């Protein structure tokens, strides 16, 4: 007779209670987990600048005349802009920029060529996504310069009267979402993901390898416990800890840095749950590989470094080489940064968040499967 043992809520609860007591006793770790977000808030208060190019842009082409084409070419040749799509309506343009598909909308109005030739100074409107000011700053300056120089060779022969005239085109830049270009608005929401990435993997890895290192795992395994009871029971307190960190950062973002919070906080917290689970699962997987706590910490760093470097937190994502972007797309932090910035600064809802949320959920599912598969019920 072979009986199967099902998940027992009582044993699950026993683990949760034990973990909470242990977390409470381990003051040092607790204090570190709380002070880490605060420390990072201060450290990353300063932005890191760089010069990203080939930023995706869309164009609302109201005029198909030769001058409009020349202008488009010139802007494209500056290498700052990469026109990925032509947009038909303003509505479509707004949606594309909200989803982060493009960072600029170049708006060439109707009658652009006619007005230019007449000397009526037609308006050229560039709308930019201001959530990552470091990324768009240089591109905007380049566009300004271009209109004054690069266009000039086009104004020859019969058009040289235009060349003589300064500012033949009226360039207007409109920054969406973060009009003052405040870098903190970009950094502070991003910090939430960074802190969670660091701490959630590490604390789970430590929590499980510690049991093994101290020999208490042998005791735990000799009890009739289902692996799910142990694993889920262990991560519940960590999820709570993650939300404490989130509350701290959001509180600081709102109270100290005055970061606007346009979107739904509930949606943000729900997305955060998926993100936390992804990293706890990663921590479980690492703990099945690590022989001791030191190795668990090293593995957490091993994952943390590319996360922080390639996710678009350190450097503007579009400024990175192709291969780095490809790696970045796998990392949950990359998507989570887009989600937090999107919700807080752009007021994105579920339709815009979803394309970034499912890759995190997929990552979480994979990591959890590997972690639970590798988690051993014996000491073999």
Partner 1 sequence: MPDDLAIDVHGMTKRFGALTAVDHVDLAVRAGEICGFLGPNGSGKTTFIRMLCGLLRADEGRGTCLGYDVVTESETIKRHVGYMTQRFSFWDDLSIAENLDFVARMYCVRDRRQAVRETIERLGLTERRHQLAGQLSGGWKQRLALAACMIHQPKLLLLDEPTAGVDPKARREFWEEIHRLAGEGLTFLIATHYMDEAERCHRLAFILQGHLLVHGTATEVIARSHLVTWSVSGPGLVELAQRLRNSSGVEQAVSFGTMLHISGPDAEALERAIAPFRTKPYEWRRIDSGLEDVFIHFMSQSQDGVAS
Q: In angstroms, what is the minimal distance from the CB of 19 to partner 1?
A: 10
Q: CB-wise, 19 or 63, nearer to partner 1? A: 19
CA distance 170 to 311: 36
**Which of residues 31, 145, 223, 294 is near partner 1 by CB under 8 A?**
223
283-to-147, 185, 205 alpha-carbon distances in Å: 52, 30, 5
CA distance 197 to 201: 6
Q: CB-wise, 2 or 322, nearer to partner 1? A: 2
Q: CB-wise, 174 or 216, nearer to partner 1? A: 216
Taking CB under 8 A as the rule, does residue 222 contact partner 1? yes
**Percent of residues in the chain assigned helix, strand, coil, to nearest 5:** 65, 10, 25
Q: In angstroms, what is the minimal distance from the CB of 3 to partner 1?
A: 6
Taking each continuous run of H as one helix and of E as one strand, the counts in the chain are 15, 5
Those residues whose C-beta lies under 8 Å from the C-beta of residue 356, and which sit 6 or more positions away, are: 335, 336, 338, 339, 342
Q: In angstroms, what is the minimal distance from the CB of 234 to partner 1?
A: 13
Taking CB under 8 A as the rule, does residue 216 contact partner 1? yes
Strands 104-108 and 55-61: parallel
CA distance 181 to 135: 10
Q: In angstroms, what is the minimal distance from the CB of 37 to partner 1?
A: 25
Beta partners for residue 367, in sequence order: none
Taking CB under 8 A as the rule, does residue 291 contact partner 1? no
**Which of residues 47, 171, 182, 221 is near partner 1 by CB under 8 A?**
221
**Which of residues 224, 266, 322, 323 is near partner 1 by CB under 8 A?**
224
- Identify which range of 83-91, 113-121, 212-220, 261-269 contacts partner 1 by CB under 8 A: 212-220
89-to-57, 61, 101 alpha-carbon distances in Å: 15, 10, 16
* 372 in Cβ contact with 228 (< 8 Å): yes
CA distance 201 to 213: 18
- Positions 359 through 378 that interact with partner 1 (CB under 8 A): 378
Taking CB under 8 A as the rule, does residue 379 contact partner 1? yes
Taking CB under 8 A as the rule, does residue 3 contact partner 1? yes
**Torsion 335-336-337-340 (CA) sign:** positive
Q: CB-wise, 28 or 164, nearer to partner 1? A: 28
Binding pattern for the stretch 8-27 against partner 1, x by CB under 8 A and - elsewhere: x-xx-xx--xx--xx--xx-
Taking CB under 8 A as the rule, does residue 6 contact partner 1? no
Q: Contacts with partner 1: how many residues (CB under 8 A)?
A: 28
**Which of residues 49, 156, 165, 219 is near partner 1 by CB under 8 A?**
219
**Which of residues 86, 101, 110, 218 is near partner 1 by CB under 8 A?**
218
175-to-126, 182, 355 alpha-carbon distances in Å: 8, 11, 24
* 211 in Cβ contact with 217 (< 8 Å): yes
Which parts of this chain interact with partner 1 (CB under 8 A)?
A: 1-3, 5, 8, 10-11, 13-14, 17-18, 21-22, 25-26, 214-216, 218-219, 221-225, 378-380
């Amino acid at each position: 007779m072979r009986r199967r043992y099902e998940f027992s809520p009582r044993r699950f609860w026993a683990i949760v209670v034990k973990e909470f007591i242990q977390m409470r006793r381990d003051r040092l770790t607790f204090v570190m987990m709380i002070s880490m977000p605060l420390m990072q808030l201060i450290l990353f208060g300063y932005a890191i600048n760089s010069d990203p190019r080939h930023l995706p842009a869309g164009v609302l082409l109201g005029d198909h005349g030769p001058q409009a084409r020349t202008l488009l070419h010139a802007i494209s040749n500056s290498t700052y802009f990469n026109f990925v799509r032509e947009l038909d309506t303003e509505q479509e343009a707004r949606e594309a920029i909200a989803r982060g598909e493009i960072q600029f909308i170049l708006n060439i109005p109707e009658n652009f060529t006619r007005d230019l030739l007449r000397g009526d100074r037609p308006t050229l409107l560039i709308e930019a996504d201001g959530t990552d000011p470091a990324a768009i700053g240089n591109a905007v300056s380049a566009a300004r310069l271009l209109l004054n120089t690069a266009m000039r060779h086009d104004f020859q022969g019969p058009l040289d009267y235009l060349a003589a005239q300064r500012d033949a085109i009226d360039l207007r830049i409109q920054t969406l979402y973060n009009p003052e270009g405040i870098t903190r608005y970009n950094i502070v929401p991003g910090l939430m993901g960074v802190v969670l990435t660091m701490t959630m993997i590490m604390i789970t890895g430590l929590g499980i390898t510690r049991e093994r290192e101290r020999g208490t795992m042998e005791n735990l395994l000799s009890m009739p416990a289902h692996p799910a009871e142990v694993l889920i029971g262990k991560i519940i307190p960590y999820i709570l800890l993650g939300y404490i960190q989130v509350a701290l950062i959001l509180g600081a973002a709102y109270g100290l840095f005055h970061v606007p919070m346009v979107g739904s906080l509930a949606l943000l917290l729900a997305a955060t749950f998926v993100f936390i689970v992804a990293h706890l699962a990663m921590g479980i997987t690492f703990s099945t590989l690590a022989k001791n706590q030191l190795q668990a910490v090293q593995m957490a760093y091993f994952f943390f470094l590319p996360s922080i470097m390639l996710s678009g937190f350190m450097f503007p994502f579009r400024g990175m080489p192709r291969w780095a972007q490809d790696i970045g797309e796998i990392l949950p932090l990359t998507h989570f940064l887009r989600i937090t910035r999107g919700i807080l600064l752009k007021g994105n809802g579920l339709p815009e968040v979803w394309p970034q949320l499912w890759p995190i959920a997929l990552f979480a599912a994979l990591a959890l499967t590997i972690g639970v598969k590798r988690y051993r019920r014996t000491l073999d």
